[in-house]
Chains A and B, each alone.
Chain A
């Protein structure tokens, strides 16, 4: 039985374990029908031209999480940014882990999707926002059908979240292979501000497939900083679907740092529904071996005087494959739009490859839109310069790569996080430069 059939037939069993009476029931039932009809995307779909899911769909994933597995904090401490005072929402094999988490209901709600979906107190928010921006494609619908657990974050009007929020999903590998479908909802009301760090981590080498959906709603003048750290082990694959709806003068930045994982697909979609909105999409990808990373972005400008800035950097070694597919749509009402997109890549090996497809679809005349894409190598002259000054070959190369990625790293606003990312990069490049960049 292939994975699609297995998922569809498991749906009934799943339904019995969750609340059948909730309003979400109808949404789930509709979603499974859509998934049944559309299934997983194939290479025949234009948006999936360069990424095939076949290799990761062939495992016989267990779909339902078993009972919570006890993990001691000391075993997983290294995956937290522990020197950062933060709220934490931690999941182990899809189940909430209360002893690793630190949640709050004080002015802001940082808690669980499962309680939000069932508790009457959150009904208004769920009715207003749940599944409102996620499109009805196969993968998102699959997630919607099995949506039960994830992070629920609601920042009320005129509130500054007092500390960043870390959302971490662990998989223990108790099952020989596992499929996880976290569902996150983030609602940031008027004039509010929040910083969120998301991470997926498997603790063994057993294959894991994560198909996650995150919906983010930024109301007027809200500011959202979202950081995705994708540094999982080489048997873990991730399909990240993030949908962001922005209202007037809001600012949402999503930073994606990819160093690990077998196959990673980021579907990052911004829908601008007001004026004076700014959307920022940044990414650094450093991969090697047989890793495959696909960034698929969409920014849809529908109103005048908005901006979007995209900056994706990639370094690809050995047989790694990089894909960038960035689409900007400017509706004819969206005059005075400034939309910029840049995708720079470095290939370090002849077996590595990069496929880049920056698209513009523009229907308004008074706009400034541009995209740029480059593919190149490290500059031999610069390397030579550093070598003549006594810097080792490996370090010199690492320095150049740091410099290449630096303008994206600079946009990280949490110092401890920035330091952590620097460390991850240093580990990835296997160098110790002896100073922080």
Chain B
């Protein structure tokens, strides 16, 4: 008879499970010397043939950054990266502009095949346009023509700086100013590439837009900059997914994402993050210090959905500034930590306009020796009458060496505010497993069922195409527990 599969077995399995996607594509890259100074910032700007205002903007950010200190308030412990030991620019040498997949470097295609996100598959999936960022520079863009017909601009941010400077100039830094925080300032100074998306007035984007980010070159930090602008009455669903190859040294990822939803617009931003989390001893892994923020004008809506399974250290708070009256902000998150991973993630909902609503659903799953924190702010300002917030943070613990923490800040300055906040921490109940066993479901499947049910509220919010991948990534992080 087979021994009963217990939570201990699962724990053991989780600990010994190696990172499946740890591989390395050997593409010749052009890499800058390590270190950071004004010359490097100028060189990056020059390399990208940027106009003078952009160079100045970067330099301004760099000067602010020099004066800033790394934030230490987060509930994470790590060795601080040496910012002078990082190369701030690397781009694949061959910089082809493909029209079809045949022209793409076969080595690259192979990489995507291993990731299970081959372009072939993507193309077949209903209308997904993929703008792949491989080490900072776009190498392939599909479905561009379809989008162009609608007047939608979807390109790399460097291209947008060249072709649509008026839009970039107007919106870049408008939600996340250069001096917002240490990592945002760093990103503003040295961002290598990223995506830009503009949806014109009244246009409903006919397909899910997605970008896959990968860290590929050893020793290069990646500084992505994403800017999504939804003009009045438009709608866009944007997907972002990441996997990174195995590395022993820590890699830094400090991205900035800015969303601007003008009157009546809606942006749905979904992320699956699966950077390399380090090995079972906690060695290596990506440092993920991301600033994500969206601005909602009147009746606009921004919805963040994230599945965080990777990274050694995560520091990430996708936020909504609900500036316009009747605007809506949503945040749905699953954060899974295992081994020595540390995650400090959550959201900020800043209610400025009247009748603004926000919803926060956060699910944390910790296993191994990991630490998982939820940190959130709900702020109702005195002018924000009839503001409404609902927050729920649930944590699931597996094993007694991990930790789950919640740090919610709730600040209300208006009497008509209605705020609810709930948090629970629990483990998989023995009675729940017993109930499943009774009905012929073995323990392994039962755990899968329960974890799946626990995360369902968030998984349901992901677009169909992404939900598949999210499931896949949950499987890697909590192998054997997701059926």
Residues of A participating in the B interface, judged by any CB pair closer than 8 Å: 46, 332, 335, 345, 347-377
Contact = CB atoms under 8 A, between A and B. Distances in A.
A307 to B, nearest CB: 15
Contact of B415 (A348, A355, A356): A348
Nearest to A358: B408
A347 B415 contact: yes
B312 to A, nearest CB: 20
A345 B419 CA distance: 9
Contacts of A356: 408-411, 421
B182 to A, nearest CB: 18
Contact of B427 (A46, A351, A367): A367
Given A354-B411, A359-B405, A375 B425 contact: no
B299 to A, nearest CB: 23
Given A362-B395, A365-B427, A377 B418 contact: yes
Interface in B370-398: 380, 382, 385, 395, 397-398
B44 to A, nearest CB: 36
Size category of the binding interface on chain B: 35 or more
B141 interface: no
Nearest to A367: B425
B409 A355 contact: yes
Contacts of B420: 372-374
B426 A367 contact: yes
Contact of B419 (A359, A360, A374): A374
Contacts of B402: 363, 365
A424 B405 CA distance: 38
Contacts of A374: 418-421
Contact of A361 (B405, B413, B417): B405
Contacts of B405: 359-362
Contacts of A358: 406, 408, 421, 423
B408 A370 contact: no
A271 B354 CA distance: 44
A358 B423 CA distance: 9
Given A357-B410, A360-B425, A369-B425, 19 more contacts: A335-B400, A350-B413, A353-B412, A355-B409, A355-B411, A358-B421, A361-B403, A362-B395, A362-B397, A363-B402, A365-B399, A365-B400, A365-B402, A366-B400, A373-B419, A374-B420, A375-B410, A375-B417, A377-B416
Nearest to B413: A353
B378 to A, nearest CB: 9
Given A350-B413, A371-B423, A362 B407 contact: no
B414 interface: yes
Nearest to B387: A375
Which residue, of B73, B382, B409, has the highest number of chain A Cβ atoms within 10 A?
A: B409
A370 B397 contact: no
Nearest to A327: B407
A347 B397 CA distance: 36
A375 B407 contact: no
A54 B296 CA distance: 37
A350 B414 CA distance: 4
